[in-house]
Amino acid sequence: MKARVYYSNDFLRHDWPGHVERRERLEATMSRLRGGVLAEKVEVVEPRPATADEVGSVHAPWYVRYILEHGEGMLDLDTYMSEGSAIAALRAAGAAVEGVDEALSGRRLVVGMVRPPGHHALPAQAMGFCLFNNAAIGAKHALRRTGRVLIVDWDVHHGNGIELVFYDNPRVLYFSVHQSPLFPGTGAAPDVGVGEGEGFNVNVPLPAGSTDADYAEAFGRILLPIMDDYGPGLVIVSAGYDPHYADPIADMRMTEAGFYALASMVRGGSKNASIVVMLEGGYSLEHLPSSVEASLLGLMGEPYDYRASEEKTGAATGRIAEALEVQRKYWRL
């Protein structure tokens, strides 16, 4: 069975001249998917717009109306709305909902090639280029059909919106590996959730300069054992490619081969659970398409010709050890 890719030309209508989160990111990536090694392994489908009720499972009703009726302009210093942003945001959330349904119906891999991204969006606030929290909306929808959802977030920024939505909910385990310090300033290792959700929020903040090998160590020592313990019925990946060494807005040293390695580890750890990928960040027009391709090859179990960097950094190893110590209270690590 081919992987299903949800994409719409409406995603290109969300655009602001000179902004780093621009339509060319998705145009270049879709060109690579349609014309590269994955061309015969994916089917591209247009998602429907999410309903107000589906978006409202995460966001306040007044906020949903605010976004849909806002029109053009800046919502904050970083986050914009253009003429086509509302329909793009609804289709991005719709891709998450439809993708979850498709995955829970048996398709092994579903991919949302969407804009705008989502993981910073709060229940009543846009931020960090994000309008609606696509991954969180998908996870909420999934809980109608499965008992436990794992969200893996490898974007270079911490997904503060996802964390907030599920911070007290043991049915959604959120794992984030991210550069710290960096926007939005959240995601400390001791932030583990509250109430019934304590222990189901896992943050691995890494220093600038972290490598493929550092990320792989965080996944191997923390994520995979937790996945084995938790046994998710569905895995959602908030897939940001801004940890790449060429990305203009961060300072990590990941490569395409590194993303392939992380994706392969997620595939192995998911066992029988299907995987839904939602595009988040990644702003190198040269390397975003090849990074997405590499990660999808990893999630499909396909071969890849390049090797990830094996260089570990002492600073990252120390941070991983700190996160590991925090999580040992809750998991067999």
Catalytic residue of the set 59, 119, 120, 157: 120
State residue 119's pLDDT score: 99
How confident is the prediction for the chain on average, in pLDDT?
Answer: 98
pLDDT band at 179 (very low <50, low <70, confident <90, very high): very high
State residue 253's pLDDT score: 98
Confirm if 81 and 116 have CB atoms less than 8 A apart: no
Angle between helix 85-104 and helix 61-69 axes, rounded to 10 deg: 130
Angle between helix 288-300 and helix 23-35 axes, rounded to 10 deg: 50
Rounded to a whole number of angstroms, the distance between the first and last alpha carbons of the chain is 35
State residue 1's pLDDT score: 87
Return the H-helix or E-strand segment holding 111: strand 109-112
Domains with residue ranges and CATH for the chain: 3-327 (3.40.800.20)
State residue 34's pLDDT score: 97
Q: What is the DSSP string of 56-82?
A: TTTS-HHHHHHHHH--SEESSSS-EE-
- The tokens describing 153, both together, are 């977030």
| 127-142 confidence digits (pLDDT tens) | 999 999 999 999 999 9
Confirm if 187 and 147 have CB atoms less than 8 A apart: no
Residue 59 annotated as catalytic:
no
Q: What is the DSSP string of 93-106?
A: HHHHHHHHHHHHTT
